């Protein structure tokens, strides 16, 4: 096993005007499950492919353990990759698919059979070893792709959206299976996804990328509680954090008819007379019309059993607001309510730079 280090790693595609991955500095601990997440085109796959050796590194270095692998060919990096489309060989059985890389590497037949058997047991694939991929379900094919990586006993697993071909229900099951399997095997893993829920549920830590630039690295809790900027704040969490402009007032931030107290040192750092306030849907206290707070007209309530989500807009503006409400007793569409954030859970960002103004999460990179 080994750690993985991106040291100022940069990839500028030929003809590109700006790097697809720009000075990436990131360390993945030995045995850690790190998720690279961000919207499409932010540089996740490029980062993973640089680590795999499938993409040239134009500047900086990549290390696996203490070894600089920047110029080492993919096959000599001791990594195994699981792709989105699994890339199984259709004419080979499950066992042959799983053992193929070992055969190429010259591992003898008995050892191969043993490793394939062990992986099949781990993945609940023993009864399918003689089948061809076309006779398997999507979930089983996904497990064969995992098995092919596991039998190689690599130092690092690289996974590029390995669940995207599964239906929603299977995706939820499989993400728990992969996460628990990774913990059992203890192999350092870098996992790419655009899905923030996958990131939150699977990763020991999450690295958020935007336009090729690393925005924040931290535990799921760090990112949820203390996003470094409005981008991370809006990207992590579902439904997304409410983000809206609010005026700075004496002692805090004006929130409708009420001033919510906020550390003055934070507000002193703000550019201009406004800040961007962030409030998660579950962090509102919902009061009746006319109570202190922000007057919000209810457009729709989505009932989800125990909880519900109120979708509305701030009266006199078109700012949209989402608030979690009791699923059994909630306001109705057309009513006006008064919303106040729970003071400890308010996020404050600079309106100009988008940077967090209140205390930042301790960097755990």
Question: What are residue 333's phi and psi, to 5 degrees?
Answer: -55, 140
Tell whether residue 13 is a contact of ligand ADP (CB under 6 A).
yes
Closer by beta carbon to ligand ADP, 51 or else 88: 51
Interface with ligand ADP (CB under 6 A), residue total: 11
Interatomic CA distance for residues 254 and 246, integer angstroms: 6
CB of 195 to ligand ADP, least distance (A): 12
CB of 44 to ligand ADP, least distance (A): 4
CB of 217 to ligand ADP, least distance (A): 16
Stretch that binds ligand ADP, among 39-47, 83-91, 143-151, 348-356 (CB under 6 A): 39-47
Closer by beta carbon to ligand ADP, 128 or else 191: 191
Closer by beta carbon to ligand ADP, 5 or else 45: 45
Q: Cβ distance 216 to 185 under 8 Å?
A: no
Stretch 236-295 residues interacting with ligand ADP (CB under 6 A): none
Tell whether residue 45 is a contact of ligand ADP (CB under 6 A).
yes
Sort residue 82 into left (φ over 0), alpha (ψ -120 to 50) or beta: beta
CB of 291 to ligand ADP, least distance (A): 44
Interatomic CA distance for residues 201 and 106, integer angstroms: 38
Q: Cβ distance 314 to 294 under 8 Å?
A: yes
State the number of CA atoms in the 13 A half-sphere of 23 facing the CB.
Answer: 1
Three-state secondary structure string covering 197-231: HHHHHHCCEEEEEECCEEEEEECHHHHHHCCCEHH
Tell whether residue 46 is a contact of ligand ADP (CB under 6 A).
yes
Stretch that binds ligand ADP, among 37-45, 93-101, 196-204, 251-259 (CB under 6 A): 37-45
Cα three-residue angle 263-264-267, rounded to 5 degrees: 100
Q: What is the secondary structure of 85-150 as a DSSP string?
A: T----TTS-HHHHHHHHHHHTT--HHHHHHHHHHHHHHHT-GGGTTS-GGGS-HHHHHHHHHHHHH
Which of 3, 7, 41, 240 binds ligand ADP (CB under 6 A)? It is 41
Tell whether residue 44 is a contact of ligand ADP (CB under 6 A).
yes
Interatomic CA distance for residues 21 and 318, integer angstroms: 36
For helices 168-185 and 138-150, angle between their N-to-C axes, nearest 10 degrees: 20
Tell whether residue 42 is a contact of ligand ADP (CB under 6 A).
yes
Tell whether residue 19 is a contact of ligand ADP (CB under 6 A).
no
Query: Distances from the Cα of 77 to the Cαs of 48, 70, 106, 302, in angstroms?
Result: 13, 10, 17, 50
Q: Count how many residues are written for the chain.
A: 365
Closer by beta carbon to ligand ADP, 197 or else 336: 197
CA nearest neighbour of 149 among 185, 195, 174: 185
CB of 10 to ligand ADP, least distance (A): 12
Q: How many CB atoms lie within 10 A of CB 65?
A: 16
Stretch that binds ligand ADP, among 1-9, 13-21, 95-103, 166-174 (CB under 6 A): 13-21
Which of 17, 40, 250, 273 binds ligand ADP (CB under 6 A)? It is 40
CB of 92 to ligand ADP, least distance (A): 29
* Residues 95-124 as x/- pattern, contact with ligand ADP by CB under 6 A: ------------------------------
Which of 4, 22, 43, 339 binds ligand ADP (CB under 6 A)? It is 43
CB of 13 to ligand ADP, least distance (A): 3
- Interface contacts to ligand ADP, rule CB under 6 A: 13, 16, 20, 38, 40-46
């Amino acid at each position: 096993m080994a750690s993985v280090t991106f040291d100022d790693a940069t990839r500028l595609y030929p003809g590109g005007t700006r790097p697809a991955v720009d000075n990436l500095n990131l360390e993945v601990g030995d045995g850690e499950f790190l998720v690279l997440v961000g919207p499409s085109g932010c540089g996740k796959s490029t980062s993973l492919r640089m680590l795999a050796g499938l993409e040239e590194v134009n500047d900086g270095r990549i290390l696996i353990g203490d070894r600089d692998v920047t110029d080492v060919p993919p096959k000599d990096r001791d990594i195994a990759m699981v792709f989105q489309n699994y890339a199984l060989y259709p004419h080979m059985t499950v066992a042959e698919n799983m053992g193929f890389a070992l055969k190429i590497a010259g591992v003898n037949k008995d050892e191969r059979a043993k490793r394939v058997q062990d992986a099949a047991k781990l993945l609940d694939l023993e009864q399918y070893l003689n089948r061809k991929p076309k006779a398997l379900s999507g979930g089983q094919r996904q497990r064969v792709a995992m098995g092919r990586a596991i039998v190689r006993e690599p130092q690092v697993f690289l996974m590029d959206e390995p669940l995207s071909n599964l239906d929603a229900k299977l995706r939820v099951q499989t993400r728990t299976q992969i996460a628990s399997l990774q913990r059992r095997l203890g192999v350092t893993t870098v996992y790419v996804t655009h899905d923030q829920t996958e990131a939150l549920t699977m990763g020991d830590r999450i690295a958020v990328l935007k336009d090729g630039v690393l925005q924040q690295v931290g535990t799921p809790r760090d990112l949820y509680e203390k996003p470094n900027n409005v981008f991370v704040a809006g990207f992590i969490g579902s439904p997304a954090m409410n983000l809206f402009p609010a005026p700075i007032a004496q002692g805090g931030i004006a929130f409708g008819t009420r001033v919510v107290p906020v550390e003055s040192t934070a507000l002193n750092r703000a550019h201009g007379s406004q800040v961007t306030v962030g409030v998660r849907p579950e962090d509102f206290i919902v009061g009746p019309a006319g109570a202190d707070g922000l007057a919000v007209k209810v457009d729709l309530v989505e009932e989800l059993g125990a909880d519900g989500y109120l979708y509305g807009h701030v009266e006199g503006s078109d700012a949209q607001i989402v608030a979690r409400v009791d699923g059994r007793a909630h306001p109705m569409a057309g009513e006006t309510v008064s919303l106040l954030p729970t003071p400890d859970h308010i996020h404050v960002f600079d309106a100009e730079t988008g940077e967090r103004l209140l205390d930042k999460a301790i960097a755990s990179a």
